[in-house]
Amino acid sequence: MKIGIDIDDTLTDIGEKLEQEAKKYAKQLGKEEQNISELSNKNDGKILQRKYGFTYEELKYFLKEIHEGVTRCAVPRVNAKETIKKLREKGNQICIITARDSEFHDDPYQLSKDWLDKNKIEYDKLIVNAREKASICKQEEIDVFIDDQLNNCIAVADIGIKTIRISRDKTQYKNIITLENWEEINNYISKME
């Protein structure tokens, strides 16, 4: 199988830390958090922009300086590295698909590659600038896609690709398998093989 995997909050568990940093940054700017409930259909920072009232330049600073700092120090989720190694040993191809992009990062490819290499996460291909993950999964002929963001999972599942959402949220969505951790992901994919 060809397995597509996101990085931020999928291979890592940085959502809470990023949220803390966004709140801290917004407070420094004198901005208040807004209550928003809708999903964004793109991975472009618009949710943060609306939630905290960041201007484009403030958002760009947050993603370039603060987000990158958090992601560089992030550690892999428990069993992520081991699960990916086992999947590759069984002949599966691993395609890392991240929305880290050139608009907000100087070199999203190198940023991602450095983190993957530092943490010894095996992969066959790395794709950055992936705001439209469904089209990339289709183009790459992905069989199974793993991500944390519901909007990405819905879009990919809607084109008929088996989709796993890593989340503590147990709400079930059509055609999406929600699992809490990489041990559960390993068990689920092992049964598929």
124 with 44, same domain?
A: no
Q: Are residues 92 and 44 in the same domain?
A: no
Domain identity same for 34 and 96: no
Report the number of distinct structural domains present in the chain.
Answer: 2
The proportion of the chain whose per-residue pLDDT surpasses 70, expressed as a percent, equals: 94
Has residue 38 got a pLDDT over 70?
no
C-alpha span between 13 and 129 (Å, rounded): 20
CATH number for the domain spanning 138: value is 3.40.50.1000
Instruction: Name the residue range of residue 33's domain.
Output: 15-73
Is residue 42 very low, low, confident or very high in pLDDT (cuts 50, 70, 90)? very low
Same-domain pairing of 34 and 111: no
Q: Are 5 and 83 in contact (CB under 8 A)?
A: no
pTM for the model: 0.90
pLDDT digits (tens, 9 = 90+) for 4-27: 999 999 999 888 888 899 999 999
In three-state secondary structure terms, 164 is strand
In a shared domain, residues 122 and 178? yes
145-162 per-position pLDDT tens digit = 999 999 999 999 999 999
**67 plus 90 within the same structural domain:** no
Question: Whole-angstrom Cα distance, residue 131 to residue 102?
Answer: 11
